[in-house]
């Protein structure tokens, strides 16, 4: 297999007896609650706020923990089971803590044809973490292998939080990106 | 972060003749102009909102007729005539008034496809204008833009553009004195390819798991929030203002008689200039790949091209001259799909490439239908063992027998989409699979997919 790593294990179901990791935070901030209320008012049905509220929860709680899901259900006034079902369906909701910088490497066909496997390997080597295995010891990095970042024409691509970097050709560029992250020198949308 | 490119650039290529009558740029108009998301720039430089103002003076049915006259077919993948789709929306009667919605499908998740991103990034106002015209034509109450969650920077831009349109009085209450109230809301997805399927998208928009619904009822009868809804792709809606500006009949002269207009083709893989090219439908594939995208980037000749995003069956060399329109590509055994051309050179291992594609479908199956959920995983496992030198000759028959049991046996086309690459790879490159099994080595040595890690 061309792939340097075994298939991604980040989305595997919980083993019997295994519990989801707990977050430090248990409740939404008043600002986040107001944001959710505003979203609910815009849409014809309050249930539509589930996905946006989970995005807000991920931002506030760091990841979508059980407490975050419960807080979402409470804020919208919908069953907890529904929120759990939605949160576990979509891959962008992290159900476990990620690093301050979450590096997602696209390894799908267009990126793969242009060296995504080597890039993923390099990312793992430089960050010292493997996909789906939690953040690095210093809490800075986590790595995930993703299916497509819609950068097929300029791949291979890496997304750092919400900022896409593409056209990787050498190790230096990856190190530059990582250095810039450490300096806090990245676009506001990526925070 | 000056030294590092922080904003993705989808590499939109212009070429000799681009922007002329032969290769008009309709959807990519203003592409590359980073200021085009400002309302003023769009209005002053690119005839912005001219078509909308003209459309609002017409009867809604006249706008639908104009779309029918243009002959435009949906650019999302299925190629269904857009005007016809719009005409399916139920009209108000004295007994019953409907709340209609227009949904823009911006959940661009198919590998090889990256066209909608360029429109959202460089031409958001043209999409908004198209959605206002569509909303008027179908007398909708609200429009939704469902965007994939990864496009956060585009969402912020689109929200800003929408606010500019609201401030200008193009959205909101009593638009330009017509008495019609309409607004557009942005909805962010959360990473599920299946949400590109229209009914799964509607489920997701309602805040549920993105699982496709049983059809009928079709969205035109019962769509978002239980109301009549039309779902159109970003590119289709962005084509609406140019159609209204030039007139449906004039637009229909572009392309071929049954496949009118221009389309954005995204070329990726082993080519010198991967990127986006807006061309009239019916343009030959070898012209796009060899002339515009510069041909093979590796010096080796191309062996396979996927003509319409990851779900389209592959073409081998004998079909490289295929004109890129919905009907001809279908007649040659593939599908025009989303217009993403993925090019593979002769050193690409087709077993690896097929495994990579099938792994995508196994990962993205929503799990609702057993044939797709189990079948895609099964195909992945069998391909994985062939790739690892543990395959048996019977595996090829097994793979061939799996696809008819997945395709057309599921609620949505995701199962069929997985069968396309599988069947075509087995038909056209069977010798590579056999070589893997009998020789335990790769037929295409030095594969570009191969990283040099692991025995092969």
Q: Which residues of B touch A148 (CB under 8 A)?
A: 109-111, 193, 360
Which pairing describes strands B142-147 and B101-106: parallel, antiparallel, or unpaired? parallel
Under the banding of pLDDT at 50, 70 and 90, the label for residue A23 is: confident
Query: For B186, what's the count of Cα atoms within 13 Å in the CB-facing half-sphere?
Result: 23
Which among A82, A147, A186 has CB closest to B6? A186
Give the separation between CA A46 and CA A76, rounded to whole angstroms.
7
Which among B6, B113, B190 has CB closest to A163? B6
Give the separation between CA B401 and CA B153, rounded to whole angstroms.
44
- Model confidence at A163: pLDDT above 90: no
Q: Could you read off the pLDDT of A104-162 as tens digits, one per residue?
A: 999 999 999 988 888 999 999 999 999 888 899 999 999 999 988 888 888 888 988 88
What pLDDT, on the 0 to 100 scale, is given for residue B100?
Answer: 95
Classify residue A7 by its DSSP letter.
Answer: P
Q: Which residues of A touch B342 (CB under 8 A)?
A: 109-110, 113, 152
Mean pLDDT for B296-323 is 92
Which among B6, B208, B451 has CB closest to A86? B208
Q: Is B112 on the interface with A (CB under 8 A)?
A: yes
Query: For B43, what's the count of Cα atoms within 13 Å in the CB-facing half-sphere?
Result: 11
Query: For B425, what's the count of Cα atoms within 13 Å in the CB-facing half-sphere?
Result: 29
Task: Please identify which residue in the block is written with the tokens 């919905």.
Answer: B326
Task: Evaluate whether B232 touches B102 at the Cβ level (below 8 Å).
Answer: yes
What pLDDT, on the 0 to 100 scale, is given for residue B5?
Answer: 43
Mean pLDDT for A11-31 is 82
CB atoms B276 and A153 under 8 Å: yes
Give the separation between CA B30 and CA B47, rounded to whole angstroms.
11
C-alpha R_g of chain B:
22
Give the separation between CA A58 and CA A69, rounded to whole angstroms.
10
What pLDDT, on the 0 to 100 scale, is given for residue B151?
Answer: 87
Altogether, the residues listed in chain B come to a count of: 456
Here the tokens at position B55 are 């459309």
More confident residue, A188 or A89: A89
Angle between helix A30-42 and helix A66-76 axes, rounded to 10 deg: 50
Q: Which residues of B touch A108 (CB under 8 A)?
A: 111, 310, 356, 360
Closest residue, chain B, to A178 (C-alpha): B4
Q: Which residues of B touch A165 (CB under 8 A)?
A: 4-6
What pLDDT, on the 0 to 100 scale, is given for residue B269?
Answer: 92
Task: Evaluate whether B124 touches B42 at the Cβ level (below 8 Å).
Answer: no
Here the tokens at position B89 are 């929306």
Q: Could you read off the pLDDT of B169-188 as tens digits, one per residue?
A: 999 999 999 999 999 999 99
Longest dimension (CA), chain B: 74
B399 CB contacts (<8 Å, ≥6 apart)?
Answer: B379, B382, B383, B422, B426
What pLDDT, on the 0 to 100 scale, is given for residue A3?
Answer: 52
Here the tokens at position B267 are 């070329």
Under the banding of pLDDT at 50, 70 and 90, the label for residue B235 is: very high
- Model confidence at B84: pLDDT above 80: yes
Here the tokens at position A155 are 């791949």
- Model confidence at A5: pLDDT above 60: no
Give the separation between CA B383 and CA B414, rounded to whole angstroms.
19
CA distances from B202 to A48, A84, B67, B195 (A): 10, 19, 24, 8
Task: Evaluate whether A109 touches B353 at the Cβ level (below 8 Å).
Answer: yes
A119 CB contacts (<8 Å, ≥6 apart)?
Answer: A105, A111, A156, A158, A168, A174
Under the banding of pLDDT at 50, 70 and 90, the label for residue A164 is: confident
What pLDDT, on the 0 to 100 scale, is given for residue B16?
Answer: 82
Chains A and B form CB pairs within 8 A to the count of 207
Task: Give the 3-state secondary structure of chain B.
Answer: CCCCCCCCCCCECCCCCECCCCECCCCCCCCCCCCCCCHHHHHHHCCCCHHHHHHCCCCHHHHHHHHHHHCCECCCCCCCEHHHHHHCCCCCCCCCCCCCEEEEEECCCCCCCCHHHHHHHHCHHHHHHHHHHHHHHCCCCEEEEEECCCCHHHHHHHHHHHHHHHHCCCCECCHHHCCCCEEEEEEECCCCHHHHCHHHHHHHHCCCCCCCCCCCCCCCCCCHHHCCEEEEEHHHHHCHHHHHHHCHHHHHCCEECCEECEEEEEEEECECCCEEEEEECCCEHHHHHHHHCCCECCCCCEEEEECCCCCCCCEEHHHCCCECCHHHHHHCCCCCCCCEEEEEECCCCHHHHHHHHHHHHHHHCCCCCHHHHHHHHHHHHHHHHHHCCCCCCHHHHHHHHHHHHHCCCCCCCHHHHHHHHHHHHHHHCHHHHHHHHHHCCCCCCCCCCCCCCCCC
Mean pLDDT for B388-394 is 89
Q: Could you read off the pLDDT of B124-163 as tens digits, one per residue?
A: 999 999 999 999 999 999 999 999 998 888 898 899 999 9
Nearest to A147 by CA among B440, B113, B53: B113
What pLDDT, on the 0 to 100 scale, is given for residue B439?
Answer: 85
Mean pLDDT for B251-266 is 92
Nearest to B268 by CA among B338, B359, B352, B362: B338
Give the separation between CA A126 and CA A176, rounded to whole angstroms.
12
Q: Which residues of A touch B352 (CB under 8 A)?
A: 1-2
Tell me the residues of chain B between 279 and 318 that have a Cβ less than 8 Å away from chain A: 306, 310
First-last CA distance in chain B: 40
Report whether the peptide linkage leading into residue B216 is cis, meaning its omega lies within 30 degrees of zero: yes
Under the banding of pLDDT at 50, 70 and 90, the label for residue B7 is: low
CB atoms B268 and A110 under 8 Å: yes
**ipTM of the complex model:** 0.91
Q: Could you read off the pLDDT of A33-89 as tens digits, one per residue?
A: 999 999 999 999 999 999 999 999 999 999 999 999 999 999 999 999 999 999 999
């Amino acid at each position: 297999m061309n792939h340097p790593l075994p298939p991604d294990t980040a989305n595997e179901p919980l083993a019997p007896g295994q519990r989801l990791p707990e977050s430090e935070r248990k409740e939404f901030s008043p600002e986040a609650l107001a944001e959710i209320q505003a979203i609910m008012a815009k849409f014809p049905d309050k249930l539509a706020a589930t996905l946006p509220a989970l995005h807000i929860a991920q931002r506030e709680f760091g990841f979508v923990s059980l407490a975050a899901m419960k807080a979402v259900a409470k804020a919208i006034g919908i069953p907890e089971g529904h929120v759990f079902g939605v949160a576990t369906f979509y891959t962008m909701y992290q159900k476990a803590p990620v690093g301050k910088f979450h590096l997602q490497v696209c390894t799908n066909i267009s990126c793969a044809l242009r060296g995504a496997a080597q890039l993923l390997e390099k990312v793992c080597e430089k960050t010292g973490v493997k996909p789906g295995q939690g953040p690095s010891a210093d809490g800075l990095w986590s790595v995930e292998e993703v299916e497509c970042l819609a950068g097929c024409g300029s791949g291979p691509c890496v997304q750092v939080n919400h900022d896409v970097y593409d056209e990787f050709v050498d190790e230096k560029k990856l190190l530059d990106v990582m250095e810039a992250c450490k300096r806090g020198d990245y676009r506001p949308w990526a925070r | 972060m000056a030294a590092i490119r922080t904003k993705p650039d989808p590499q939109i290529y212009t070429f000799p003749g681009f922007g002329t009558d032969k290769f008009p740029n309709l959807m990519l108009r203003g592409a590359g102009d980073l200021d085009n998301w400002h309302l003023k720039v769009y209005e002053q430089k690119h005839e912005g909102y001219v078509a909308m103002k003209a459309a609002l003076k017409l009867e809604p049915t006249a706008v639908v007729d104009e779309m029918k006259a243009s002959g435009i077919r949906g650019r999302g993948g299925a190629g269904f005539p857009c005007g016809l789709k719009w005409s399916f929306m139920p009209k108000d009667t004295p007994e019953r008034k409907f709340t209609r919605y227009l949904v823009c499908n911006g959940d661009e998740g198919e590998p090889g496809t990256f066209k909608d991103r360029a429109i959202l990034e460089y031409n958001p106002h043209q999409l908004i204008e198209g959605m206002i015209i569509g909303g008027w034509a179908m007398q909708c109450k609200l429009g939704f833009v469902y965007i994939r969650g990864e496009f956060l920077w585009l969402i912020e831009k689109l929200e800003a553009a929408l606010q500019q349109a609201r401030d200008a009085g193009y959205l909101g209450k009593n638009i330009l004195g017509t008495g019609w109230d309409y607004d557009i809301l942005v909805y962010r997805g959360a990473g599920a390819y299946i949400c590109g399927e229209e009914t799964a998208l509607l489920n997701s928009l309602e805040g549920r798991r993105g699982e496709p619904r049983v059809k009928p009822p079709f969205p035109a009868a019962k769509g978002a929030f239980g109301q009549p809804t039309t779902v159109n792709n970003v590119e289709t809606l962005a084509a609406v203002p140019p159609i209204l500006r030039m007139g449906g009949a004039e637009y229909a002269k572009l392309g071929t008689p049954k496949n009118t207009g221009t389309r954005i083709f995204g070329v990726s893989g082993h080519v010198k200039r991967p990127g986006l090219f807006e061309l009239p439908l019916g343009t030959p594939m070898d012209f796009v790949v060899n002339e515009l995208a510069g041909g093979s980037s590796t010096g080796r000749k191309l062996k396979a091209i996927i003509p319409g995003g990851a779900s389209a069956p592959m073409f081998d060399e004998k079909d490289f001259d295929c004109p890129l329109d919905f009907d001809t590509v279908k007649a040659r055994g593939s599908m025009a799909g989303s217009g993403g051309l993925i090019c593979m050179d002769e050193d690409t291992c087709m077993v690896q490439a097929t495994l990579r594609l099938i792994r995508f479908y196994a990962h993205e199956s929503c799990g609702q239908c057993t044939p797709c959920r189990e079948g895609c995983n099964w195909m992945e496992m069998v391909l994985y063992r062939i790739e690892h030198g543990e395959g048996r000759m019977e595996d090829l028959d097994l793979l061939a027998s799996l696809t008819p049991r997945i395709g057309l046996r599921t609620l949505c086309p995701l199962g069929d989409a997985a069968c396309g690459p599988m069947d075509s790879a087995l038909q056209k490159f069977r010798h590579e699979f056999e070589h893997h099994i009998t020789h335990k080595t790769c037929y295409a040595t030095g594969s570009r997919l191969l990283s040099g890690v692991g025995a092969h």
